[in-house]
Structure 1
Amino acid sequence: MADVWINGDKESMLDPRDRAFTYGDGVFATMAVDSRGQLRFAESYWQRLQDGSARLGFHWQPSASLLAQIHDLAAKHPLHCLKLQLSRGVGGRGYAAPATPQITEVISISPLPAHYRQWQTDGISLATSSVKLARQPLLAGFKHCNRLEQVLIKQHALPAGYDDWLVLDTEQQVVESSMANLVLLVEQQQQLHALVPSHAYAGVAGVMRQQLLQALLAEGIHLHIREFGISELRQAKHLLLCNSLLGMVDVCRVDNSSFARWQGTARLQQLLVPH
């Protein structure tokens, strides 16, 4: 069970009128704390939260007191997950937002998922979900608090032997897994190229995706960010999956298609996997 602090106070309660509760009017980030009690890629998360808040139409930046509390909690909880949720707060009439929002900041701490270590070692298998993501460019790319599509995806039981869902959008384009970003490695003229789903219309462009793409560039791998379907995915040589808590893993199977483990995975995991 997670420990929760609301606006710096562990004893506080969330107002039921809060707009994150009533409308999903907010953003959030999920961050890994490493074994030294430090947040990984913290500055990237603050920037993404600022960008996401701006996309929804309110301004936020982390205060000195919030940063101090977050770093103190991280130091006390090595190898845990720290989640920061920002809500526009209480106010406004109906859907209309308040002119001057009083932002609610919610911090929660919980253990890292234990099975992720096994996934990092063995790789995972994906089954294609029957639930499709809607295409909405105004909400695409950032992590807002309305995750009902992901709730619907997770309501379905995975087939035996599969670990997560591969998710397409309503135009049958590959977007992500139910909880992580996907990168394909394709071979062209004896060179590897990374094919990355665009998030212009759906999905979340995660911080770990950004870190993985930078690491692939450092490996000399060219990046191609665009839309593609499941048939093109099946032609890839390697598939990689990443998020902030998982780091990076190989995808060994999607439905009935198998993929080779990439020889560079262990090397990049040293950079990306929480340890």
Structure 2
Amino acid sequence: MALVWVNQVAQGTVSPFDRGLAYGDGVFATMRTTAANQPAAVLFIDYHLSRLQQSCLRLGMHWQASDALTSQLLSLATQYPQHCIKLLLTRGEGGRGYQAPTQIQINEIVSVTPIPEHYQQWQQQGIALATSPIALARQPLLAGMKHLNRLEQVLIKSQPLVANTQDWLVCDTDGWVIESSMANIFAIIDGKVVTPAITHAGVSGVMREQFIDALLQDGFKVMVKPMRFDDIKAAEHIVITNSLFGVVDVHTIDQFQFSRWTHTSRFRHVLSVNLPS
């Protein structure tokens, strides 16, 4: 039986008229719980909830995590160590067509799933990327948010991966490098760490923010700027980040090779995102 709660009701249901289902009208967060040998917690929970709140405001939805919801998430972290918790928020029912209702009842949908087993191997061995033939549309009003309109990612993931690659490198329709299909990307060039600006497309992940903060505290120079593929080719090292696998080396993109960064494992330790073998 799937582990799902709707508005904190186990195995609760959502109306077929819910705007999240009808229009993708909502946002979500993907969070990780700590390992069984660590104090039970949802990693970076305050940052995830804050980003959800800010994203809701950008969509004209006023939401703040209740004490009851926060307690539920922390309780799940105790029951399900080393798991993924997904918190999905929809605008609920109502409105005429696309027009949202003036009064809304936000639905909170929580699910728990295991972390994919191969992520631990990715941490140990790194991965290879291939450039996706499908580009992301540029829409600054939605850029950065983890909104429910993920059809671009569905199309990207529907393409058969190139042999011996694990994910796609994704650009936008103007050819700017944005991210992998599931993670943010960083290039280490001449000792500086460069990551694409998420101003017109892509998701600004919580792990991206945490990694940038950790880099700055460690004395690294970090540049957030628009990036072309030439910037990728100029890098000595490439890493990607997301909330489940933390920080992972990329050793190949298309025909280009990159050496593993000597600091990757240390930053996984600093951020407490090592996956136990």
Normalised to the residue count of structure 2, the TM-score between the two structures is: 0.96
Query: In 1, are the aligned partners of 2:136 and 2:201 still within 8 Å (CA)?
Result: yes
Give, in angstroms, the shift of residue 147 of structure 1.
Answer: 0.3
Query: In 1, are the aligned partners of 2:182 and 2:242 still within 8 Å (CA)?
Result: yes
Matched, 1:52 2:66: no
Q: Distance in 2 between matches of 1:230 and 1:219?
A: 27
Q: Deviations over 1:110-169 (max 9, x none)?
A: 000100000000011000000000000000001001100000000001011101000000
Which of 130, 141, 144 is the matching residue for 2:144? 141
Q: Which residue of 1 aligns with 2:255?
A: 256
Which of 118, 133, 148 is the matching residue for 2:121? 118
> Residue type of the partner of 1:165?
W
Which of 85, 88, 99 is the matching residue for 1:85? 88
> Residue type of the partner of 1:41?
F
Q: Which residue of 2 aligns with 1:62?
A: 65
For the aligned residues, what is the CA RMSD? 1.0
Query: In 2, are the aligned partners of 1:79 and 1:274 still within 8 Å (CA)?
Result: no
Q: Deviations over 1:10-64 (max 9, x none)?
A: 1321100000000000000000001133100010001000011011111100111
Q: Distance in 2 between matches of 1:274 and 1:43?
A: 20
Question: May I ask how many residue pairs the two structures share in their alignment?
Answer: 271
> Residue type of the partner of 1:233?
I
Which of 32, 38, 41 is the matching residue for 2:41? 38
Bigger shift: residues 215-224 or 160-169:
215-224
SS of residue in 2 equivalent to 1:210: helix
Q: Which residue of 2 aligns with 1:227?
A: 226
5+ long unaligned stretches in structure 2: none
Q: Which residue of 2 aligns with 1:74?
A: 77
> Residue type of the partner of 2:254?
D
Q: Distance in 1 between matches of 2:169 and 2:41?
A: 31
> Residue type of the partner of 2:234?
Q
SS of residue in 1 equivalent to 2:10: coil
Q: Distance in 2 between matches of 1:241 and 1:11?
A: 34
Query: In 1, are the aligned partners of 2:3 and 2:11 still within 8 Å (CA)?
Result: no
Query: In 2, are the aligned partners of 1:33 and 1:274 still within 8 Å (CA)?
Result: no
Give, in angstroms, the shift of residue 225 of structure 1.
Answer: 0.8
Identity %: 48
Q: Deviations over 1:194-222 (max 9, x none)?
A: 11101000000000000111111122111
SS of residue in 2 equivalent to 1:5: strand
